[in-house]
Structure 1
Amino acid sequence: MSSFLEVAFSYPTAILSALLLVVIFYWLLALIGLVDFESSSLDIDVDTDAHLDGDAGDISVLASYVVAMGLNGVPFSIVVSLLILISWTVTALFSEWILPWVPTMLFKALVGTAAMIAAVGVAIVMTARIVKPMRKLFVTHSATSNASIVGQTCLVLTQTVDERFGRAEVSTNGASINIRVWATTPNTLGKGAVARILEYDPQASRYLIVAE
């Protein structure tokens, strides 16, 4: 146990350990319904007065790299979690088995840095292979078919529903559909509450609901 902790909190694994703790905390919040892990996009607030030229182009370039590496088609949170977990595992194994044989602290730091970078490369390849069969689980339906459930009732799945996130379940033709929802605050919506679907937002692919 002491050896594991020494590896986990020593360079270079310590950097990825800190990121892994953030990921674990995020998924704990997702389990209790405080974050929407199925969101496939990043909500980035751009300050137009901050002299950030070419932001749209930078985001476009980033998106093209994500597609090129095969990391698209699943929620961003899942991709990041897999990247960090795999990178941490590879780096930790290297630090446990190989790094102790490297002489001098300076050389260990250089080799450790190179190993961490290589681990990220391995993580990208492995994550792309893992998410490929998962894409069919996160298919986004067209707005025309989704809009047909407006007016029906749904069951709230998250602990709260506000302007930023929320999830609910609606039954159609004997099948249950998990949908993204939002509501104005304050409201009485919580896990298990019954709500009415008022309208569909095709831009954000989510529904406006109100307590039934």
Structure 2
Amino acid sequence: MGEFLNAVLEFPTVLFTSLLVVVIAYWLVVLFGGADADSLDADVVDGDVAGGFGGFLGSVGLGGVPATVGLSVLVLVAWFVSLAGSTVVDGALLSVVLLAVALVVAWLVARVLVVPLRRLFPATSGDSRTAFVGRTCVIRTGTVTETFGQAEVTAADGSSAIVQVRQTGTDTFTAGSTAVIYEYDPDGEFFWVVPAPTDPTPGQRELS
């Protein structure tokens, strides 16, 4: 028992141990009714979740499940890999390498597990993804390309969401500029945008 405690409190496992404690505490609160489990659907990470962290998870291929679920899987796998690796790794340099390996393995495993989990969490609460088509949004990244970009869009109910956006042309987008969403790509789980002709209030002007 003492060796186990030493292992979980050593670097790099201790980093994931702290996060794992938070994750376990959260799910205990949900289990005993301290949080509304039904609200998980509102946090589905498909690029449409409000908040930069959800947008980040969606951008690394963990879209389609609640942010809490994706984060829980990442932490659990990373903790296990780090703990197992610490039994054969010794030295500061190798510990840093183990930290990187644990993060990569956790990401790979999470991506595999997310696929079947997506069927349990359809992103249909509030405005559906296609309902954002035709609405204006505010770019939140320094640029938008064919492979990168995020924007904030306001739904019909007044709530805001961070979505993944892309463009097909060579238009110039900067953080804070306004764009119009004209199409949703279900395979890539992102929206195509073009520069807005004017600068209306985000989400209030629809594509004509």
Q: Which residue of 2 aligns with 1:129?
A: 112
Find the aligned partners of 2:34 and 2:66 in 1 and give their Cα distance. Answer: 16
Residue of structure 1 in register with 2:15 after alignment: 15
Alignment of 1:104-115 (within 5 A): 108-115=91-98
2:81 is equivalent to residue 90 of structure 1: yes
Q: Is it true that 1:40 corresponds to 2:31 in the alignment? A: no
Task: State the distance in 2 between where 1:115 and 1:133 align.
Answer: 28
Aligned partner letter, 2:95: G
The alpha-carbon deviation at position 66 of structure 1 amounts to: 3.0
Aligned position for 2:121 = 138
Counterparts of 1:143 and 1:6 in 2: how far apart (Å)? 47
Q: Partner amino acid for 1:81?
A: S
Q: Shift of residue 113 of structure 1?
A: 1.6
More helix by share: 1
* Cα distance in structure 2, aligned partners of 1:110 and 1:12: 11
User: What is the letter of the counterpart of residue 75 of structure 2?
Assistant: I
SS of residue in 2 equivalent to 1:10: coil
5+ residue gaps, structure 2 = 128-155, 160-208
Distance 2:126 2:33 in 1: 25
Deviation at 1:202, TM superposition (A): 5.0
Seen in structure 2, the aligned counterparts of structure 1 residues 136 and 113 have a Cα distance that, compared at 3 Å, is same
Match of 2:101? Answer: 118
Residue 116 of structure 2 aligns to a residue in which SS? helix
Paired with 2:64 and 2:19, the residues of 1 have a C-alpha distance of 23
Query: Is 1:12–1:113's contact at 8 Å kept on the other side of the alignment?
Result: yes
Distance 2:116 2:76 in 1: 19
Aligned residue type for 2:43: S
Partners of 2:118 and 2:67 in 1: how far apart?
Answer: 12
Q: Which residue of 2 aligns with 1:50?
A: none
- For normalisation by structure 1, the TM-score amounts to 0.52
- Map 1:1-212 → 2, pairs under 5 A: 1-37=1-37, 38=40, 39-40=42-43, 59=52, 63=55, 65-96=56-87, 98-99=88-89, 102=90, 108-141=91-124
2:64 touches 2:123 (CA, 8 Å); kept in 1?
no
Deviation at 1:131, TM superposition (A): 1.0
Structure 1: tracts of 5 or more residues without a match: 45-58, 103-107, 145-200, 205-212
How far apart in 1 are the matches of 2:157 and 2:120?
Answer: 20
Q: Aligned AA for 1:40?
A: D
* 1:33 CA drift (Å): 2.0
- Number of aligned residue pairs: 126
- Secondary structure at 1:14 match in 2: helix
Q: TM-score, normalised by structure 2?
A: 0.53
CA, structure 1 residues 22+130, in 2 after alignment: closer, same or farther (shift >3 Å)? same
- What RMSD over aligned residues (CA atoms) do the two structures have, in Å? 2.9
